[in-house]
Amino acid sequence: MFRGVTAINLDAKGRFAIPTRYREELQDCCERQLIVTVAVNEKCVGEPGCLWLYPLPEWEKLELTVSKLPTLNKMAGKLRRFLIGNAIEAEMDAQGRLLISEKLRKFAGMEKKLILVGQLNKFEIWNEDAWIAKENEWLEGDDDEGLDELESLSF
């Protein structure tokens, strides 16, 4: 399980180091095989945003779910083209680094400073400025969309 927010840096080659605390788990769960793709739940087209980083077994579960969506449904087709079509295989090297393709870096407006956010079964990778802006938006917002679905949760 991946949790927490970590500031990371992108090097000149488009790589970042996975924090040490996650490396052993990623070795055990997926033998350093990961998938990077665009995040489909954040409006980041045309502005800096985020990417999703999945261990391969978690990604394969998602692919199976997506493969069962109706092929003639327009939204399912868009999801397949966007999520699956932009997915890139990535292997964590011996130093714990991961290369993000230039296309995905451009999509998410990634330059030097990034934020890695654990999301239990995956990570989000954010442009630092976009993360700060979204975090402020979430803290200041009064958006109650989907709140009814969460009312049954207790902490």
Q: Residue 12 maps to which CATH number?
A: 3.40.1550.20
Beta strands (DSSP E) in the chain are: 5-9, 15-17, 33-38, 50-55, 88-91, 97-99, 113-118, 123-127
Q: What is the pLDDT of residue 45?
A: 46
Task: Look up the domain containing 118 and give its range.
Answer: 5-141
Q: How far is CA 110 from the centre of its chain?
A: 13
108 assigned to some structural domain: yes
153 assigned to some structural domain: no
53 assigned to some structural domain: yes
Give the number of residues written for the chain: 155
For the chain, 155 residues long, the average pLDDT of each consecutive 10-residue run is: 96 96 96 94 62 97 94 90 94 96 93 95 95 88 63 61
152 assigned to some structural domain: no
Q: What is the chain's alpha carbon radius of gyration, rounded to the nearest angstrom?
A: 16
24 assigned to some structural domain: yes
Closest C-alpha to 53, from 68, 41, 42, 38: 38
Q: What is the pLDDT of residue 154?
A: 54
Number of Cα atoms under 13 Å in the Cβ half of residue 154: 0
Q: What is the pLDDT of residue 44?
A: 47
Which residues, listed in sequence order, are joined to residue 34 by a DSSP beta bridge?
55, 90
